[in-house]
Amino acid sequence: MVRSLSMPKPKPIGALVASMASLALLAPAALGAAAPSPGGTSIGDPLFPTLGNTGYDAQHYDLDLAFGAAPTDPVTGNVTLLATATRSLSSFSLDYAGPVAGVVFVNGRPADYTLTGEKIVITPGRPLLKGLPFVVALKGFVSSPRAFNADDPTSVAFIAGPSGTAMLGQTAYAHHAWPSNDHPSDKASFSFQLSAPDGETAVANGLLAGKRSRGGRTTWSYVQRQPMATELTQVAVGDYDVIDRGRYRGVQIRDVTVRSATATLRPQLEVEKAQLDWLTDRLGPYPFDVYGSLVSDQNVGFALETQTLSYFSTNQFAATRPEGRWKPVMLHELAHQWLGNSVAPKEWADIWNSEGHATLYENLWAAENGYLPDSAGFDTFDELIRSIYADGDRARAELGPVGRPKSGSDADIFSSQSYDGGMLVLYALRQEMGTEAFERLERRWPTKYRGRSAGTREYIALASEVAGRDLRPFLESWLYGTATPPMPGHPDWTIEPVA
Ligand SMILES: [Zn+2]
């Protein structure tokens, strides 16, 4: 069956391939002035020197995945990428860490490739010219969802649990599941065709665009039309229910829950609407077409802001846990949809900005709703911040400055400096600018950079513009200094000496 939608269907990717192929054939050789050369195999992120590729700009990914009956069955797939060459290319690369790459076509013609380390280097039959779009299709690659590994909890991107699969691609793991330019500075729109045995449910980022059944299998189509970082892709297939809550403030509200937990979760997740109200008041209109929670039973022990469909585990909602433990976490992941997703990091050292913001709003909301004692162990927001401030020098000595994680390891990227440290910097900025100016900055940031990637430098520039004075020295000492600066407005606050 096909569901009607209030949005246009995407162009069929086959038609795109045909039109791009003819475009490339017609292009005069003189159009690309510089001689074609190989694209770069690093996008230049100091924390992830091997990640990402240059020479092109990804515009749209179409992912076509076929799932087996069991969550750990290998998934076979095709990915078609529409990109624009940013210089004339004799070859170019994508990130991919899977075992089988299949066959590769560029502009509809077979292309040679080599699979080395975590790169596929593709050599098209004829060079790609600067400024022109091209289509690369990788057909027949294989991906294997794996069970959660408690010894290395964040390393499995494509995860399998008792009831189904899900994606956990942050930071640099999406290319373990399928080929892409796997860096948040190269966002693209996405479409998904997910084929699964009848009786299973398949969901992905964005809106459901159609569903058709044939021969015991059903193919579910989704469209994520606003740009998305590869790390935020979500694809979940298994024994899931879809809870359609209709439209609220112009946003489709859709939750996805493992069937065994739907009755319990249905009322619990409804808090999303009140949270959407609260965040919209502070950050402006929600940036996407749809939002909801995916609650699966891989029980990884963390949540992830996969775009339009945040990931949670059933154990986070256990009856033994007070609502002050999970409701603020839901607010955190929803806040990321503006801060971290719609405005994605330019490089991974910017993570303090997205995690600091999500942690700030999580705790402000918890404090307003009386959840802070359960969620953070403090009675008031200022007591929480004062405690993080007191620990500031120890955190800097042990984990590095807030704005400069020591490495790209999960331990350094997801350290408390990104969360509590980032929130502390934003609190200090609010104290320095005044609450009214800070709140204006917070509305302007996700509006100005909606759908784009923006980093620390852009945030400092916008803060300075809103404040009407140069805040760079202030913010740089908070972000990069080895000592915690004095907290504006709290001369009595002290920092514990480092042992
Ligand atoms: Zn977060």
Q: What pLDDT, on a 0 to 100 scale, did the predictor assign at position 100?
A: 79
**Cα 251 to ligand 1 centroid, rounded to whole Å:** 22
Amino acid at 433: M
Distance CA(183)–CA(172), nearest Å, equals: 7
Whether pLDDT at 447 is above 50: yes
Q: What pLDDT, on a 0 to 100 scale, did the predictor assign at position 30?
A: 46
Q: What pLDDT, on a 0 to 100 scale, did the predictor assign at position 153?
A: 67
Q: What pLDDT, on a 0 to 100 scale, did the predictor assign at position 101?
A: 81
In angstroms, how far is CA 496 from the centroid of its own chain?
Answer: 35
SS3 232: helix
- First-to-last alpha carbon distance for the chain, in angstroms, is 66
The DSSP 8-state label assigned to residue 421 in this structure reads I
pLDDT tens figures, 351-364: 999 999 999 999 99
Distance CA(29)–CA(22), nearest Å, equals: 14
Whether pLDDT at 4 is above 50: no
Q: What pLDDT, on a 0 to 100 scale, did the predictor assign at position 152?
A: 74
**Cα 118 to ligand 1 centroid, rounded to whole Å:** 26
Across residues 50-72, what is the average pLDDT?
Answer: 97
Whether pLDDT at 7 is above 80: no
Whether pLDDT at 144 is above 70: yes
**Cα 110 to ligand 1 centroid, rounded to whole Å:** 41
**Cα 374 to ligand 1 centroid, rounded to whole Å:** 18
**Cα 69 to ligand 1 centroid, rounded to whole Å:** 32
Q: Please check whether residue 133 is in contact with residue 188, taking contact to mean a CB–CB distance below 8 angstroms.
A: no
Q: What pLDDT, on a 0 to 100 scale, did the predictor assign at position 11?
A: 42
Across residues 211-229, what is the average pLDDT?
Answer: 98
Across residues 15-34, what is the average pLDDT?
Answer: 48
Structural domains in the chain, sorted by start: 1-238 (2.60.40.1730), 242-321 (3.30.2010.30), 348-480 (1.10.390.10)
Residues within 5 Å of ion ligand 1, judged at the Cβ atom: 355, 358
Q: What pLDDT, on a 0 to 100 scale, did the predictor assign at position 156?
A: 79
**Cα 220 to ligand 1 centroid, rounded to whole Å:** 29
**pLDDT confidence of 148, banded at 50, 70, 90?**
confident
**pLDDT confidence of 27, banded at 50, 70, 90?**
very low
**Cα 354 to ligand 1 centroid, rounded to whole Å:** 7
pLDDT tens figures, 44-56: 999 999 999 999 9
User: H/E element holding 189?
Assistant: strand 188-197
The per-residue pLDDT of the chain, averaged, comes to: 93
Residue 460 Cα distances to 58, 254, 449, 468, angstroms: 27, 35, 13, 12
Across residues 156-162, what is the average pLDDT?
Answer: 91
Reference 163, options 245, 87, 262, 94; nearest CA is 262
**pLDDT confidence of 20, banded at 50, 70, 90?**
very low
**Cα 332 to ligand 1 centroid, rounded to whole Å:** 6
* Percent of the chain residues past pLDDT 90, beyond the cut: 89
Q: Please check whether residue 467 is in contact with residue 475, taking contact to mean a CB–CB distance below 8 angstroms.
A: no
**Cα 481 to ligand 1 centroid, rounded to whole Å:** 23
Whether pLDDT at 32 is above 60: no
**Cα 160 to ligand 1 centroid, rounded to whole Å:** 22
Whether pLDDT at 8 is above 70: no
pLDDT tens figures, 327-342: 999 999 999 999 999 9
**pLDDT confidence of 299, banded at 50, 70, 90?**
confident
Q: What pLDDT, on a 0 to 100 scale, did the predictor assign at position 33?
A: 63
Distance CA(156)–CA(168), nearest Å, equals: 7
Q: What pLDDT, on a 0 to 100 scale, did the predictor assign at position 151?
A: 79
Q: Could you give the angle at the alpha carbon of 316 between the alpha carbons of 313 and 318, nearest 5°?
A: 115
* Percent of the chain residues past pLDDT 70, beyond the cut: 93
**pLDDT confidence of 427, banded at 50, 70, 90?**
very high
**pLDDT confidence of 12, banded at 50, 70, 90?**
very low
pTM of the model: 0.93
Give a three-class secondary structure readout of 121-173.
EEECCCCECCCCEEEEEEEEEEECCEECCCCCCCCCCEEECCCEEEECCCCCC
Whether pLDDT at 26 is above 80: no
**pLDDT confidence of 454, banded at 50, 70, 90?**
very high
In angstroms, how far is CA 288 from the centroid of its own chain?
Answer: 13
Whether pLDDT at 1 is above 80: no
**Cα 438 to ligand 1 centroid, rounded to whole Å:** 21
User: H/E element holding 26?
Assistant: helix 13-26
Token couple for 53: 């590729």
Amino acid at 340: G
